[in-house]
Amino acid sequence: MGTAILMHGVTTGGTESAIAQIDVPKDGLLIGIEWGIQALFDTTSDSLRAQVSFGSVAVGTNDSRQVVSVANLGAATFTAGGSIIAGDTHYASLPDIPVGAGERLYLHSIGAAGVVATIQAVLHFDFDLDQPKARRR
């Protein structure tokens, strides 16, 4: 049985850890993440990285094993006073990551100062059929 859980966060720039979090409702597999990002870039070199992680703090170092998925967004304006609204929507298939009931997943953002963004990550899970429902519809 599959289910999807939305993580929604808003950031106002810089690195912001744990802008959203969820607790996994039951044992199963995390099979994919559907990303939706909209950001306002107001300088010539703005960028934004969104991250879903088992860790409560955003990381960007080599061999960081708590990170599940990352989405990057960047844009360039042609004048220093210009601004652009950039967006991205995509699905990232994962290698069936085992998760346990009660495990916490976090949504982080890492971006340039002043980048205002809305980030949504829809987590797609596959749970055993013989378990009770994760939620009511």
Q: Which domains does the chain have, with CATH numbers?
A: 2-127 (2.60.120.20)
Nearest to 28 by CA among 108, 98, 77: 98
Is the CB of residue 31 less than 8 Å from the CB of residue 96? yes
Per-residue pLDDT of the chain (137 residues; tens, 9 = 90+): 789 999 999 998 889 999 999 999 999 999 999 999 999 887 667 889 999 999 999 998 888 899 999 999 887 666 666 677 788 899 999 999 999 999 999 999 998 888 889 999 999 999 865 555 656 55
